């Protein structure tokens, strides 16, 4: 009986090639930005390009695997290449997709605070930010307060039935647990300034926490501002909510 001819799937080859290029571009974007070789705009463009190729790798892998499974007369090979391309492609596409999805329904702003009338002010961090960073004057965009109110109507101060000194200590501990870099922490005026660096791209967001006394209790306000980028994809609001939630449970 004549042996069936073996043929390697071209889609499997393309999936693997596209996936390898996608991973290379993603690594170039991340490392280039972290080491200061690329600015954030160029890094994001390269990362999106890698994600596009990663999507092509995923689609090619799916087509290849379907062809391998359904092949009858011709023995189609290349499953390993297709599976590798699928995994590598998803590794690039999925984080980018999640970030875009998270930012789809949120306002295009990057300065979030629990107190729209009297937001906590940066002092120590203001001195280390440069002209290349987003301003801290809350004038951009012009309708910043309105956009935040519409996008995050449930965001507001946290009232804790504890002494401000104790709440301050708990807040400092939580900041350290999160790995944020503390720039300044003054117990006398209840102010904490810190910087959070994102895991993958290394973007830096600055945070200021203000703890004040009110009727024997503590009022905690917080502000989180991205150094670069027009939209924070909802990151700053999420950071504030998670921190205040954890602080309320301490």
Q: For the segment 3-49, what is each residue's pLDDT rounded down to a tens digit?
A: 455 666 789 999 999 999 999 999 999 999 989 899 989 999 999 99
Provide the token pair at 57: 């790798």
Q: Are residues 120 and 59 in the same domain?
A: no
- Give the position of tokens 């989180």: 224
pTM score of the predicted model: 0.83
Of 56, 77, 104, which marks where a domain is finished? 104
Domain count, the chain: 2
Domain extent for 60:
6-104
Least confident of 53-57, 102-106, 170-174: 102-106
User: Could you give phi then psi for residue 118, rounded to 5 degrees?
Assistant: -140, 70
Q: Are residues 242 and 127 in the same domain?
A: yes
Gap between the Cα atoms of 192 and 189, Å rounded: 9
Q: Are residues 118 and 81 in the same domain?
A: no
Q: Are residues 85 and 131 in the same domain?
A: no
Inside any domain, residue 1 = no
Gap between the Cα atoms of 169 and 126, Å rounded: 23
Of 71, 104, 137, which marks where a domain is finished? 104
pLDDT the model gives residue 2: 45
Q: For the segment 178-197, what is each residue's pLDDT rounded down to a tens digit?
A: 999 999 999 999 999 999 99
Of 50, 85, 104, which marks where a domain is finished? 104
pLDDT the model gives residue 5: 53
Q: Are residues 139 and 198 in the same domain?
A: yes
Q: Are residues 197 and 178 in the same domain?
A: yes
Q: Are residues 100 and 28 in the same domain?
A: yes
- Give the position of tokens 């999507």: 55
Residue 203 near residue 229, CB atoms below 8 Å:
yes
Q: Are residues 120 and 97 in the same domain?
A: no
Q: What is the 3-state secondary structure (H, E, C) of 102-156?
A: HHHCCCCCCEEECCCCCCCCCCHHHHHCCCCCCCCCCCCCCCHHHHHHHHCCCCC
Inside any domain, residue 100 = yes
Q: Are residues 42 and 90 in the same domain?
A: yes
Gap between the Cα atoms of 74 and 93, Å rounded: 32
Q: Are residues 143 and 220 in the same domain?
A: yes
If residue 226 lies in a helix (H) or strand (E), which one and from where to where? strand 217-226
- 193 in the Ramachandran plot: left (φ > 0), alpha (ψ -120 to 50) or beta? beta
Least confident of 57-61, 100-104, 130-134, 190-194: 100-104
pLDDT the model gives residue 99: 85
Residues 6+ apart with CB under 8 A from 34: 201, 202
pLDDT the model gives residue 176: 97
* Cβ-based neighbour number of residue 123 at 10 Å: 14
Residue 74 near residue 10, CB atoms below 8 Å:
no
Inside any domain, residue 194 = yes
Domain CATH for 127: 3.30.530.50
Q: pLDDT-derived band of residue 1, with 50, 70 and 90 as boundaries? A: very low
How much is the mean pLDDT over the chain? 92
């Amino acid at each position: 009986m004549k042996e069936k001819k073996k043929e390697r799937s071209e889609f499997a080859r393309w999936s693997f090639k596209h996936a390898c290029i996608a991973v290379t571009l993603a690594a170039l974007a991340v490392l280039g930005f972290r080491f200061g070789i690329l600015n954030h705009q160029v890094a994001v463009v390269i990362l999106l390009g890698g994600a596009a190729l990663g999507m092509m790798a995923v689609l090619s892998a799916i087509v290849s695997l379907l062809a391998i499974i359904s092949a009858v007369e011709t023995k189609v090979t290349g499953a390993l290449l297709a599976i590798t391309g699928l995994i590598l492609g998803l590794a690039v596409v999925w984080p980018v997709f999640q970030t875009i999805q998270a930012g789809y329904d949120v306002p295009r702003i990057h300065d979030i605070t629990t107190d729209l009338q009297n937001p906590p002010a940066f002092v120590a961090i203001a001195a280390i930010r440069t002209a290349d960073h987003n301003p801290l004057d809350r004038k951009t965009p012009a309708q910043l307060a309105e956009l935040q109110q519409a996008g995050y109507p449930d965001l507001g101060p946290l009232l804790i039935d504890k002494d401000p000194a104790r709440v301050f200590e708990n807040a400092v501990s939580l900041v350290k647990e999160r790995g944020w870099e503390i720039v300044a922490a003054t117990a006398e005026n209840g102010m904490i300034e810190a910087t959070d660096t994102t895991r993958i791209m290394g973007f830096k967001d600055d945070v200021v926490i203000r703890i004040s006394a009110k009727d024997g209790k503590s009022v905690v306000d917080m502000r989180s501002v991205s150094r670069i980028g027009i939209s924070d994809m909802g990151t700053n609001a999420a950071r504030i909510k998670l921190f205040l939630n954890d602080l309320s449970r301490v």
